[in-house]
Amino acid sequence: MTSLHIDVLRSGEGKEGEYKVAEEDPLPNWTADTKLTVVGTPLPRVEGPEKVTGRAKFAYDVHLPAMLFSRVLRSPHPHARITRIDSSKAEALFGVRGVLHSGNAPEIEWYKDSALFDTTLRFVGEEVAAVAADSEEIAEDALRLIDVEYDVLPFIADFTKALDPDAPALHEKGNVATEDGEPKVYERGDVEAGFGQADVVVEEEFVTPAALHNCMETHGCVAQWEGDRLTLWDSTQSIFDVREEVAKKLKLPEHKVRVIKQYMGGGFGSKQIAWKHTVIAALLSKRTGRPVQLMLDREAENLAVGNRNPTRQRLRIGARKDGTLTAISVKIEQSVGAHMVGGEGSNTPGLYQRLYRCPNLRTEQWPLYANTGPAVAFRAPGYVEAAWALEQAMDMLARELDMDSLDLRLKNYAVTDQKRDKPFTEPESLRRCYAAATEAFGWRAYRKPDSHGPRRRGIGIAAHEWGGSGYPPGYAWVKLNADGTADVVTGTQDIGTGTRTSLTQIAAEELGLPVAQVAVHLGDTAQGPYAPVSSGSATQPTIGPAVRAAAADARRQLLRAAGTYLEVDPLSLRVQDGKIFVEGESGHATTVEEVTQRIAPHMIQGHGARGANPEDKSIRTFGVQCAEVEVDVETGEVRVLRIVASHDCGRIVNPTLVESQVVGGVTQGIGFALSEERVVDMARGVVMNANLEEYKVPVVVDVPPIEHARVDLADPAANHTGSKGIGEPPTVPTAPAIANAVFDAVGVRITEAPITRARLLAALAAKESAR
């Protein structure tokens, strides 16, 4: 008897009435007052020893007997049609076992109006052909032996020119990447009336670059067929999405496809969808009868499997003298690249719609096609871009009003989600972040040191809100073994954030077992129940409650059995640290192991599901960051001296893991602020820095002290564990906080990210000549 069952409930009227699935196991909330002994402790990552010894097997490390290696030939042109392709020389090369291209591969639809191997190529790096060979070197040689003739077409390198009258149409419906070819518009109140009420209006255009994810492990997989069953070891954030997509593309039943992902060398959003290479590897494996490894090289990684969409945002923001916002209006142009790949999800308007109380607001979003690699979600997609603009504009407004930037933000504090017209589950959350961050930073007391020589110091602040609520469905099982240990099984992924560890803690807490007696198994579609993609900072708040529910289900069965053996009411029993206690008695009456041994070989199994989110409230996460910088006005160098970050993710399950997420997110934010930028040669449509030499990710010397000012406030209205996500938020406010600090230091506003030396020196020179 288990508590998990699915009820389909009718919630609407008539034939077309809506149905919803109800399957929650109602559990008492872990509130701020609940005494927890495992949750909240800094347990070291449970997979740590595997990772530091090199034993952890990433997709790249799966080596199967007789495995072939593959390479993909990619388009050298931003827009072209293949008129002829001949792979006979490549096929004749010693050691080549299979070649696929538009002339010999099965026709498989891809994206909206394209194919796995399309004869129309829309960006430099688009897939033209693939080779499987005995070695990586032979596969590379073979690519050079494939003869392709291209009919080169006019192209769009600069997405802001996508709607020019002479721009070529990249897709049938034109270059606006929405269903109806129209921009997405959101409006509330009366924006023009709002600007009419304003005493001060700030108007500015902001630009953000295409940032490249540059996961350390490139995208890729190993594919193996056994009869009609396909196994894929894929470097993915979503094993179930890959399974569904691959099954669909190859016309296989889902139970014939197994997707495994035990470890992944970074994803940051770019691995949240099924990409072409997985299906190509499966086809090459089928064709050659051998297992095939298809891992992308660094250049392909940077060209073909995602980037943060570049944006241009034209923003107007108005306020009364006292700082009260009267209107915000923004036109956002953002490039989706050459294709809508799914999972872009760049909700750039979202931050504008929610962060500040503002009755009159209009956001207009233009997703545009261009002949560059497809964009895909990148850690807080849309929000990093929007924060760059909105949070600098707030700083500009504060200066116009002669107000402290912090006070202006507090003046326009929002306690409700104005987009959904619902109160936040924790309306004071952001206020606590403002307090924690500014206090730890010393914002109010800060005095600029006297500048000597060319170096000037300054400080800046920025805030954000984000999702990270988690959502149904998501499942977990718990099995109690005869020796009193527990296996927790779920189909989620640990993408490097520490999911294995935090789920171990949740299960151990609810089961009353020491963490050493709990093992979490994840990342295998054949072994665990469904869990959604690991994205949106949702894994912990989605699967955490499911694991807790499964553990609670197992614990109840365990205590019922113990009650029977002990001849006491099971409700008078509690379990902690592997021991079972009877209420009011000193010492333990029995142990988990004694009970499981008596039951064995019968097995206690718990099942858990993630329940629904509350309908009357909006679950959001919030954060604030303060930065201090030093700018050298002679060299244009910006040194970040320190950052204080405060982020509310509800209950902190593991402070070490949260700290690492915060520090890591800020570090990526520093890269976005100061150095990361895909450079496209506009004349040729070629990416000039698709590598780790000229695309500058932060290195160890770029990272200043980063302090995490903890909030750790359980949000019991969010879910019964009180936890929310922390993966994405820390990277959102870093760049605008730095940009605001740069202005504070030298009085120039850098509106185009990143703040390179060239941009800063040009701005300083312009300021000087305007004098």
Partner 1 sequence: MYWPLLERRLLPLPAVRLKVNGTEYGVAAEPRRTLLDTLRNELHLTGTKKVCDVGDCGACTVLADGMAIYSCLTLAIECEGRDVTTIEGLDDGTGRLDPVQRAFVECDAFQCGFCTPGQIMSLRALLNQTASPSEEEITRAVTGNLCRCGAYLNIVKAGKRASELLREETQTAGAAR
Binding site for partner 1 (CB under 8 A): 44-45, 47-58, 60-61, 63, 69, 92-95, 135-138, 141, 144-145, 213-218, 263-266, 268, 295, 297-298, 495-498, 656-657, 659-661, 663-668, 691-693, 697-701, 703, 705-706
> CB of 730: closest distance to partner 1 in angstroms?
9
What is the spatial distance between Cα 396 and Cα 639, in angstroms, rounded to a whole number?
22
| CB nearer partner 1, residue 371 or residue 731 | 731
Q: Which is nearer to partner 1, 603 or 663 (CB)?
A: 663
- Of 265 and 345, nearer to partner 1 (C-beta) is 265
DSSP, collapsed to helix, strand or coil, labels residue 441 as: helix
Cβ closest to partner 1, residue 441 vs residue 672? 672
Q: How far is the CB of 702 from partner 1 (least distance, A)?
A: 8
Q: Give the shortest CB-189-to-partner 1 separation in angstroms.
A: 40
Of the pair 148, 355, the CB lying nearest partner 1 is at: 148
In the bound complex, what is the minimum distance in angstroms from residue 257's beta carbon to partner 1? 25
Q: CA-CA distances (angstroms) from residue 529 to 331, 489, 503, 519?
A: 43, 7, 15, 16
Closest separation in Å from C-beta 721 to partner 1: 22
Omega of the bond leading into 754 within 30 degrees of 0 (cis): yes
* 520 vs 580 by CB, closer to partner 1: 520
* E strand or H helix that includes residue 739: helix 734-746
Q: What are phi and psi of 762, to 5 degrees?
A: -65, -40
Q: What is the rounded CA–CA span in Å between residue 701 and residue 113?
A: 45
Residue-level length of the chain: 771
CB 407, CB 323: distance < 8 Å: yes
If the CB atoms of residues 68 and 393 are measured against partner 1, the closer one turns out to be 68
Compute the distance between CA of residue 435 and CA of residue 446 in angstroms, rounded to an integer.
15
Ramachandran category for residue 476: left, alpha or beta (phi over 0 → left; psi -120 to 50 → alpha):
beta
Give the residue with the Cβ less far from partner 1, 12 or 49: 49
Distance (Å, whole) CA 361 – CA 64? 57
Rg (CA), the chain: 28
Question: Residue 176: what residue type?
Answer: V
CB 461 within 8 A of CB 435: no
Q: Min. distance of Cβ 701 from partner 1 in angstroms? A: 6
Considering the complex, state which of residue 142 and residue 748 has its C-beta at the smaller distance from partner 1: 142
- 512: tokens are 């009353």
Main-chain dihedrals φ then ψ at residue 337, nearest 5 degrees: 80, -155
What is the C-alpha separation between 303 and 686, in angstroms, rounded?
9
Residue 661 Cβ vs partner 1, minimum distance, rounded to whole Å: 8
- Report the distance separating Cα 95 and Cα 379, nearest Å: 41
Q: How far apart are CA 397 and CA 648, in angstroms?
A: 26
Catalytic entry in 47, 510, 707, 728: 728
Provide the b/e sequence for 496-520 (b: ≥16 CB within 10 Å): bbbbbbbbbbbbbbbbbbebebbbb
Is 24 designated active site?
A: no
Based on CB atoms, which residue is closest to partner 1, 245 or 659?
Answer: 659
Instruction: Report CA 371 to chain centroid distance, whole Å.
Output: 24
Q: Is 487 exposed, middle or buried (0-12, 13-18, 19+ CB in 10 A)?
A: middle
User: Shortest gap between Cβ of 675 and partner 1 (angstroms)?
Assistant: 13
Calpha distance 395→235 (Å, rounded): 41
Task: Show the DSSP H helices in 231-337 as ranges.
Answer: 239-250, 276-288, 298-304
Each residue of 331-370: b (16+ CB within 10 Å) or e?
A: bbbbbbbbbbbbbbebbbbbbbbbbbebbbbbbbbbbbbb
Half-sphere CA count of 667, side-chain side, radius 13 A: 17
Residue 259 or 300 having the CB closest to partner 1: 300
171-to-74, 337, 364, 368 alpha-carbon distances in Å: 20, 12, 22, 11
Residues with catalytic function = 728
